[in-house]
């Protein structure tokens, strides 16, 4: 992981990238009400990643899956109750999303330091940034001031979260529905430089698709048979699965994307040029990733008097 930190130092200039004004959200939102919020989140995230490096990818993914379902409102953290079937058990999330205990730990420490002030939605946004940095990726100023939803929808999660078998057209439509562009799609997909995916998510790609390196497919077939082993994970970036770098894009150039939706980004479409650019220039990837994360973090946030500040991220007050 030392190489990851060296890469981060080389790319640290990205942290100084300008941040656009996004209305009511502000990087200084908790300056007077909870001045230690950033250090508290960072400390817990760092400890969790030290214990299990994979947790960085899990925390980053929580923010993605939260924002893509009715905005960045912490709804993914809500347990099912008598009123609704939430997002945790939706098809893209069930037996897949993780990191809830880390979020609970962060929330407990924040409630002790500044009760009823920091939202669960903002915790996810900060933890995603800190996870990226801890694994060697870029930093950015996280805009804050989101409030938490009082409901969640498993049905909306099933409709809104892009699936691993999507082709480029479906991916573009899914991202466009969130106000995100082709450039955002490719840059944000670069988060697959860390983390793992289950056999069930890439089985179709390694057995049925032609746009995959044959030897790569064969090596995966030995671990992921046509039936069984559904939950056996494989790294999304087999080169450096716990280092946030640009090798994910190198893999796509070699037709070694784990998911169909990964390889669709380099498959003879307008996305190809962005993949090639990010594969040859880590700085450009890092800079765009930071910009796209800020943009994604501004998808329909609840502000003002909307929603609430949950005291327990798993349930409404």
Q: Please give the span between the terminal C-alpha atoms of the chain, in angstroms, as a whole number.
A: 40
Q: Which residue has the tokens 């929603």?
A: 307
Q: Which residue has the tokens 């893209």?
A: 92
Containing 196, the helix (H) or strand (E) segment is: strand 196-198
Containing 280, the helix (H) or strand (E) segment is: helix 272-280
Query: Is 205 a known active-site residue?
Result: no
For CA atoms 270, 273, 278, 283, give the dihedral sign: negative
Strand pairing class (196-198; 233-235): antiparallel
Other beta carbons within 10 Å of 226: 9
Nearest to 57 by CA among 1, 5, 97: 97
Q: How many residues does the chain have?
A: 317
Other beta carbons within 10 Å of 33: 11
Nearest to 289 by CA among 192, 195, 160: 192
Contact 199, 234 (CB under 8 A): yes
* Burial call 10-31: b when 16+ CB within 10 Å, e when fewer: ebeebeebeeeeeeebebebbe
User: Reduced to 3 states, what is the DSSP secondary structure of residue 135?
Assistant: coil
β-strand partners of 26 = 144
List the helix and strand counts (H, then E) for the chain: 14, 2
Selecting among 63, 65, 192, 250, the annotated active-site residue is 65
Catalytic residue list: 65
């Amino acid at each position: 992981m030392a190489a990851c930190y060296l890469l981060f130092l080389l790319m640290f200039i990205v942290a100084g990238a300008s941040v656009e004004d996004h209305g009511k959200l502000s990087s200084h939102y908790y300056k007077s009400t909870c001045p230690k919020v950033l250090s508290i989140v960072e400390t817990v995230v760092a400890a969790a990643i030290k214990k299990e490096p994979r947790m960085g990818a899990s925390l980053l993914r929580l923010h993605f899956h939260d924002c893509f379902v009715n905005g960045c409102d912490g709804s993914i953290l809500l347990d099912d109750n008598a009123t609704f079937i939430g997002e945790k058990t939706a098809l893209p999330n069930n037996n897949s999303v993780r990191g809830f205990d880390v979020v609970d730990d962060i929330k407990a420490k924040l409630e002790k330091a500044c009760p009823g002030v920091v939202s669960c939605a903002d915790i996810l946004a900060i933890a995603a940034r800190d996870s990226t940095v801890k694994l060697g990726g870029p930093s950015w100023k996280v805009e804050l001031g989101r409030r938490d939803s009082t409901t969640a929808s498993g049905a909306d999660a099933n409709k809104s979260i892009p699936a691993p078998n999507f082709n480029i057209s479906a991916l573009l439509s899914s991202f466009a529905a969130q106000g995100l562009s082709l450039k955002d799609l490719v840059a944000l997909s670069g988060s697959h430089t860390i983390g793992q995916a289950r056999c069930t998510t890439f089985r179709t790609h390694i057995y049925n698709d032609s746009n995959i390196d044959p030897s790569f497919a064969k090596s995966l077939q030995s671990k992921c048979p046509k039936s069984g082993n559904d939950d056996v994970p494989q790294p999304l970036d087999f080169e450096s699965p716990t280092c946030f770098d640009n090798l994910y894009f190198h893999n796509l150039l070699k037709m070694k994307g784990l998911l169909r939706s990964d390889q669709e980004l380099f498959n003879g479409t307008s996305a190809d040029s962005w993949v090639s650019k990010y594969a040859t220039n880590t700085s450009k990837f890092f800079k765009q990733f930071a910009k796209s994360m800020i943009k994604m973090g501004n998808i329909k946030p609840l502000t003002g008097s909307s929603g609430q500040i949950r005291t327990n991220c798993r349930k409404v007050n």
